[in-house]
C-alpha cells in the first residue's frame, strides 16, 4: 500500500480525508501538523491503534524537520492541507497567513524537490505533490458573472485569499521550473463534521444550541457554493490517482446559497432535531457589521473535473446539513474541547466590536 504524507491533517478537511483514507484503505498515512488552535487531538483519537496511521507534530516551514521526515518516511505522495484558513483571522492578524501559507508552502516545496530528486526513476513517475487551495483566489463575482473556471484570472481580496494565491503560484512554478509533479485543487466552501466553530455553519449550529445570537454579516445576501467535506475528499483522491501532472481542478458543490438562507435552513433543522417549546431558533438571527472587503459571491464551474475524471458531488445540501448538525449534537465532548479559553478570546475579538448593526 502507498504512503501519503498529509500536512494539516488534524484540521477540518485533512482529518476527514485521513479517516476516509484509512477506512477505504486508500493508503497508509503520516500526518504532520503543527497543532494550532484549529486542530483538536480528539479528532483522530479513533485511529490511535491503527498501525497504518502515524502522527508527527511539526511545522511545514521547518525545512530541516521536513527534510529528515521525508528521508525517513519515504512517502509516495504529499497532500498539503496545512494552512491558516479563516478569513476573519487574516483580517485581524495577517502575519501568520504569510508565514504558513506562503513561506511554509515554499519550504515544503523546497524539501519536496530535494526529496523528489533523490527518488529512483520508477518512484519519481509515481510521486505527486497535491496542493489544496480555495476558490477565494479568484476574487468576487456579481450576480450575473459566470462561475470560476480554472482559467479565471486570480484576483484575491483578503489576506487569506492572497496568501493562498501566493502558494498556488509557487506550486505552479515548481512544476514548470523544476519538474516537480504537482497538482492543485481549488475548492469552494466546505461543511461537515469536525469543522472548527469559527466558520459560519458550525458557529451557527453551536450558538443556536446555546441560545446565543446568530451573527450575520452585512445584509446576509453574500453567496457561497457549499460542498460536503466527504465529496471534497473523494475529489482530492481522484485527482491524486488519475490527473495528469501540472493540472489544476476546481471543485464545487453546484450549491449556491445566500448566508441568510443557510442560517435559516440550520434553524429550521434545529427546530425539528432539538425543539424548544414556543421558540424558533431563527429568532436568534442578528445582523451585524459587515466583514471588511467581504466578497459578494463565489461560484465554481466544476465541468473540468466532471469531464476529465467523472467526479460529481454525491451529497445534497439538505442531507449534508442534516448529517452535520447530527454530528455536532452527538459530539459534545469534541465541542467542549475546542471551545476552550482561546476560543472565547477569539469570539470577543471578532464579534465584540460588531454589535447588532441592523435589527432583524
State the residues that interact with ligand NAD by CB under 6 A: 7-8, 10-14, 33-36, 38-39, 59-61, 81-85, 100, 104, 132, 134, 164, 187, 189-190, 196
216 binds ligand TYD (CB under 6 A): yes
Interacting residue with ligand TYD among 13, 141, 162, 203 (CB under 6 A)? 203
DSSP 126-181: H-EEEEEEEGGGG----TTSPPB-TTSPP---SHHHHHHHHHHHHHHHHHHHH---
Which residue out of 33, 59, 84, 135 is catalytically annotated?
A: 135
Measured in residues, the chain has a length of 360
200 binds ligand TYD (CB under 6 A): yes
Q: Decide if 102 contacts 167 (C-beta within 8 A).
A: yes
Active-site residue 281, yes or no? no
285 binds ligand TYD (CB under 6 A): no
Distances, alpha carbon 9 to alpha carbons 33, 211, 212, 215, 217, in Å? 6, 32, 30, 29, 30
Half-sphere exposure of 286 (CA within 13 A, CB side): 16
Which residue out of 33, 84, 136, 225 is catalytically annotated?
A: 136
Complex with ligand NAD: residue 13 or 284, whichever CB lies closer: 13
132 binds ligand TYD (CB under 6 A): no
CA 86 to chain centre: 9
Phi-psi region of 59 (alpha: psi -120 to 50; beta: other; left: phi over 0): beta
Q: Which does 34 bind (CB under 5 to 8 A by kind): ligand NAD, ligand TYD, none?
A: ligand NAD
Q: Which does 216 bind (CB under 5 to 8 A by kind): ligand TYD, ligand NAD, none?
A: ligand TYD
Which residue out of 160, 174, 298, 328 is catalytically annotated?
A: 160
222 binds ligand TYD (CB under 6 A): yes
Active-site residue 264, yes or no? no
Amino acid at each position: 500500500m502507498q504512503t501519503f504524507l498529509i500536512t494539516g491533517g488534524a484540521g477540518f478537511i485533512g482529518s476527514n480525508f485521513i479517516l476516509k483514507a484509512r477506512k477505504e484503505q486508500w493508503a497508509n498515512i503520516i500526518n504532520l501538523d503543527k497543532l494550532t488552535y484549529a486542530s483538536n487531538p480528539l479528532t483522530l483519537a479513533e485511529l490511535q491503534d491503527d498501525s497504518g496511521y502515524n502522527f508527527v507534530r511539526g511545522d511545514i516551514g521547518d525545512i530541516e524537520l521536513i527534510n529528515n521526515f521525508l528521508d525517513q518516511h519515504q512517502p509516495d505522495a504529499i497532500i498539503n492541507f496545512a494552512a491558516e484558513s479563516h478569513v476573519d483571522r487574516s483580517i485581524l492578524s495577517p502575519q501568520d497567513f504569510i508565514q504558513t501559507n506562503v513561506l511554509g508552502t515554499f519550504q515544503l516545496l523546497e524539501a519536496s524537490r530535494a526529496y523528489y530528486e533523490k527518488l529512483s526513476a520508477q518512484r519519481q513517475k509515481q510521486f505527486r505533490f497535491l496542493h489544496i487551495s480555495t476558490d477565494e483566489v479568484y476574487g468576487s463575482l456579481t450576480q450575473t458573472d459566470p462561475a470560476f473556471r480554472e482559467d479565471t484570472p486570480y484576483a484575491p481580496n483578503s489576506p487569506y485569499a492572497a496568501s493562498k494565491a501566493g502558494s498556488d503560484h509557487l506550486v505552479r512554478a515548481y512544476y514548470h521550473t523544476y519538474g516537480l509533479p504537482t497538482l492543485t485543487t481549488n475548492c469552494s466552501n466546505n461543511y461537515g463534521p469536525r469543522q472548527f466553530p469559527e466558520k459560519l455553519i458550525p458557529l451557527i449550529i453551536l450558538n443556536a444550541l446555546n441560545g446565543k445570537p446568530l451573527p450575520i454579516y452585512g445584509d446576509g445576501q453574500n453567496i457561497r457554493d457549499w460542498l460536503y467535506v466527504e465529496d471534497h475528499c473523494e475529489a482530492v483522491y481522484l485527482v491524486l490517482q488519475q490527473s495528469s501532472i501540472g493540472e489544476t481542478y476546481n471543485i464545487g458543490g453546484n450549491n449556491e446559497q445566500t448566508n441568510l438562507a443557510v442560517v435559516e435552513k440550520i434553524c429550521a433543522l434545529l427546530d425539528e432535531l432539538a425543539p424548544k417549546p414556543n421558540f424558533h431558533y431563527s429568532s436568534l438571527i442578528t445582523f451585524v457589521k459587515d466583514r471588511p472587503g467581504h466578497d459578494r459571491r463565489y461560484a465554481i464551474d466544476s465541468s473540468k473535473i466532471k469531464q476529465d475524471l467523472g467526479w460529481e458531488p454525491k451529497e445534497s445540501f439538505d442531507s449534508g446539513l442534516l448529517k452535520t448538525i447530527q454530528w455536532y449534537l452527538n459530539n459534545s465532548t469534541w465541542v467542549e474541547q475546542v471551545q476552550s479559553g482561546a476560543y472565547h478570546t477569539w469570539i470577543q475579538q471578532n464579534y465584540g466590536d460588531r454589535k447588532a448593526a441592523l435589527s432583524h
